Amino acid sequence: RPDGTVLRLAVTASAVRAADGAPRLVSLNLLDVTERDIAEAERRGRREAEVARSVAEAASRAKTDFLSAMSHEVRTPLQAIRGFTELLRTLDLPPDRRAAALEHIEGASAHVTALVDDVLDISRIEAGALPVEQVRVDVGLLFHEVVELLAPVADAGTGRLVVGPAPAVHARADERRLRQVLINLVSNGIRYNRADGTVTLTAAGPDDDGCVVLRVEDTGRGIPEDLRERLFVPFDRLGSELAADGGIGLGLSLAHGLTTTMGGRLGIESAVGVGTTVTLTLPAG
């Protein structure tokens, strides 16, 4: 154009043929699409701005939810520590009550430490900065260690932990992290089980793909289908915030992240009123 602006043109070409079909001329059609392209670019810019705004709002909500959940989870044990410390400071307690108060302080402190460790692990996983040491792990032995650790918790809820067949199954994984995953999964199975329910651990493999499959199966309440897409969201309790057994919403998120970091996969099948099965697929050791 005379004013220096550049036109965008759509060009189509077609042959003009003689009576015998031989091409004689080429017909060119030029269409000015400048305004159309400008309008499309503006629409695209608005869409991108809307997506960016939605992402920013979601990040802001996630940050708010995270801070709210963290403050709630940390405040409760810190209040217990403060209360029992004040009790020890102001009262001349008999030895048994003093020991009980110290136990409460120790337990609350351990809870805060574990919570902070879990949050740090999740942040390292998201940053791709969690170190793992892949070794050959005896799955059956690890099952028995986890059951021995958590059996008192299951017994307190009148439930049972069962180790199914795991004949000479070995996985290639970080043993400490795999233990952490199993503890989280079994703890969830106990927490959301019915009073007379069971949590069963089984393992099999290697399969044709060179993988072993570990399963943690409970007979609990199950997970509604509309909540399953939120299973691995940190601090999402799937609507159980008001329940006494609601947990803190980190177990599955952390288990999923750790399993992926070790080169494995974590899958969940669940039926409401029947139970939930969590499947870990790991390289064979």
Name which CATH class applies to 135-283. Answer: alpha beta
Range 102-110 average pLDDT: 86
Residue 199 has pLDDT above 80, yes or no: yes
- 256-275 mean pLDDT: 92
pLDDT at 261 (0 to 100): 93
pLDDT attached to residue 264: 95
Q: Nearest to residue 70, comparing CAs of 9, 136, 118, 21?
A: 118
Between residues 61 and 98, the one the model is more confident about:
98
Residues 173-187 pLDDT 10s: 999 999 999 998 998
- Structure confidence at residue 206 (pLDDT): 87
Average pLDDT of the chain, as a whole number: 84
pLDDT in tens, 145-156: 998 888 887 776
Residue 246 is predicted with a pLDDT of 52
Contact, 199 vs 190, CB < 8 A? yes
Q: Residue 171's pLDDT is what? A: 95
- d(CA 280, CA 204) in angstroms, rounded, equals 11
Q: Residue 237 has what pLDDT?
A: 63
pLDDT for res 278: 94
pLDDT computed for residue 94 by the predictor: 85
For 266-280, write each residue's pLDDT tens digit.
Answer: 999 998 889 999 999
> pTM above 0.85?
no
**pLDDT per position as a tens digit, 215-234:** 999 998 888 887 777 777 76
- The answer to whether residue 244 scores a pLDDT higher than 50 is no
Of the candidates 155, 175, 185, the one whose C-alpha atom is nearest the C-alpha of residue 256 is: 185
When pLDDT is cut at 50, 70 and 90, the band that residue 248 belongs to is low
Comparing 250 with 134, the larger pLDDT belongs to 134
Quote the pLDDT of residue 239. Answer: 53
